[in-house]
């Protein structure tokens, strides 16, 4: 079978892209390189002194894992080395990271990323991932990146993707012309095209939500969960419940098989738990490009949300379009008592 590596694919598709000067290609290639470095560390995390906590906390107030910090630094280095990025918003950093040298100031893009999402799963060897969103900067080239470069609606993304460090390591991304998946072949150290033109089944039979929070969920979500547990007219069986607790892994499974992932607002997380800039938006871009939908559960498209702060959260309902429509129906028909 003819192998197409990530770099070959990026160059082949470069012509599709309006800013075809190769800038975005270089950016994506550097993300691929950083992903390989992080993958190597993730795969042998149990064997090296990279597990456990650093002893510091990130902006989220979460204990930073050594691998979080390692991954964050590798992607920052990779993006800085691409010469196309003028700044980064990272889950691991409270403020934006500005590349304030001449090469950085001339970068045309900014990147929002979660360098290692689901890192609480590292110690128990559950799949984790990196999520990234790429925007063209709004501030003038030749100057320092500004916060407004990052507070753009998700619909402005020029590219988005994730790396899943799982039973195999894959990079899945879109530049607005479909979704393609690449599997890392460790024997040659290359991401190779393995899942061209990925599409999400419009109907799925898997629902993914942390049912431990059931009592805190909005009425509509409770009703929808019960609906999933009844026999489906078509299959005469209830849906399957699958929840890994790692967004990239739960999303990737649904992308492949069809399904819905929900992280609704709760009393604990009144605006949802997941971060708009570097979790919800990139996944929403990918899911729409694959034929699915992503909303706040009440019909508001994730990609239409205008961020007002770097680490703001949003409720996330994402997956097969028919399933999103159904849960939105329940959310409208069974509103919470005021
Ligand atoms: P909960 C991991 O910490 C994460 O950010 C996502 O990867 C995951 O979907 C979610 O949080 C899990 O949250 O509250 O169900 O443990």
Burial classification of residue 277, based on how many CB atoms lie within 10 Å of its CB (0-12 exposed, 13-18 middle, 19 or more buried): buried
Q: pLDDT at position 63, please?
A: 65
DSSP state of 231: P
Residues 200-222, mean pLDDT to the nearest whole number? 96
DSSP state of 280: I
Closest CA relative to residue 91, chosen from 121, 109, 118? 118
Cα(19) to centroid of ligand 1, in Å? 35
Distance CA 235, CA 36 (A): 41
Mean pLDDT comparison of 20-24, 82-86, 265-269, 292-296, highest-scoring range: 292-296
The β-bridge relationship of strands 206-208 and 260-263 is parallel
Residue ranges of domains in the chain, CATH in brackets: 6-195 (3.30.540.10), 206-333 (3.40.190.80)
Q: What tens digit of pLDDT does each residue of 170-186 get?
A: 999 999 999 999 999 99
Q: What tens digit of pLDDT does each residue of 82-109 get?
A: 999 999 999 999 999 999 999 999 999 9
Distance CA 4, CA 189 (A): 13
What tokens does 106 get?
């001339």
The binding-site residues of ligand 1, defined as CB within 6 angstroms of any ligand atom, are 117-118, 120, 210, 245-247, 250, 273
Cα(274) to centroid of ligand 1, in Å? 7
Residue nearest (by alpha carbon) to ligand 1 atom 9: 247
Among the ranges given (37-41, 46-50, 134-138, 292-296), the one the predictor scored with the smallest mean pLDDT: 46-50
Residue nearest (by alpha carbon) to ligand 1 atom 4: 118
């Amino acid at each position: 079978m003819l192998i197409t590596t990530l770099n070959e694919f990026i160059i082949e598709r470069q012509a599709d892209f309006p800013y075809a000067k190769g800038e975005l290609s270089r950016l994506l290639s550097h993300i691929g390189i950083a992903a390989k470095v992080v993958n190597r560390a993730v795969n042998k995390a149990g064997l090296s002194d990279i597990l456990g906590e650093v002893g510091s906390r990130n902006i989220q107030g979460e204990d930073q894992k050594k691998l979080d910090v390692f991954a964050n630094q590798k992607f920052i280095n990779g993006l800085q080395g691409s010469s196309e990025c003028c700044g980064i918003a990272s889950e691991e950093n409270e403020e934006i990271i500005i590349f304030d040298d001449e090469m950085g100031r001339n970068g045309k893009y900014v990147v929002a990323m979660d360098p290692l999402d689901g890192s609480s799963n590292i110690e128990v060897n559950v799949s984790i991932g990196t999520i990234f969103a790429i925007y063209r900067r709004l501030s003038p080239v030749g100057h320092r990146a500004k916060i407004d470069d990052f507070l753009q609606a998700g619909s402005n993304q020029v590219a988005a993707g994730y790396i899943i460090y799982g039973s195999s390591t894959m990079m899945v991304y879109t530049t607005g012309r479909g979704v393609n998946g690449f599997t890392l072949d460790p024997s040659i150290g290359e991401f190779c095209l393995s899942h061209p033109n990925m599409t999400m089944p419009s109907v799925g039979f898997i629902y993914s939500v942390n049912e431990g929070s059931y009592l805190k969920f909005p009425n509509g979500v409770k009703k929808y969960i019960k609906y999933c547990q009844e026999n489906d007219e078509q299959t005469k069986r209830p849906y399957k419940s699958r929840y890994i607790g790692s967004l990239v892994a739960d999303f990737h499974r649904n992308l492949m098989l069809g399904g819905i992932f929900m992280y609704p607002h709760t009393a604990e997380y009144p605006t949802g738990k997941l971060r708009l800039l570097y979790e919800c938006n990139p996944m929403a871009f990918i899911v729409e490009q694959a034929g699915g939908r992503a909303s706040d559960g009440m019909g508001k498209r994730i990609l239409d949300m205008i961020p007002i702060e770097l680490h703001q959260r949003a409720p996330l309902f994402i997956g097969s379009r028919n399933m999103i429509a159904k849960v939105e129906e329940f959310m409208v028909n069974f509103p919470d008592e005021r």
